[in-house]
Amino acid sequence: MERHRTSHRTGVAMLVSLTAGSLGSMPFARYTPRPLGSAVAVACAVFAATAATAWYAARVGRLTPVPYRQPAVGLFTLAYQLGGAFGPALAALLIA
């Protein structure tokens, strides 16, 4: 049986998982030259990205007709994840 998820549930799930990942990465920040500054920067960046993604996912869900809502939110999430995966690599290639 297929489970139907609303865009709000998807956003909350993303918020919880990204927050858990961020908190899990905090102990590794102590190995950097400025652990507190790095930890705060990572926490702020993850919170901002997660909040924006949850807001946009809910907006995509509201603006998309019901039959296309699930695929639209799924494609939005995929684009976000691919941007996070390939964006830094492409930026490094452009700078180098």
| 27-81 tens-digit pLDDT | 766 666 667 776 777 778 778 887 888 888 888 889 999 989 888 888 888 888 8
pTM score over 0.95: no
The single-letter code of the amino acid at 24 is G
| 6-15 tens-digit pLDDT | 767 777 777 7
Taking residue 10's Cβ as centre, other Cβ atoms within 10 Å add up to: 21
Helix (H) or strand (E) segment spanning residue 28: none
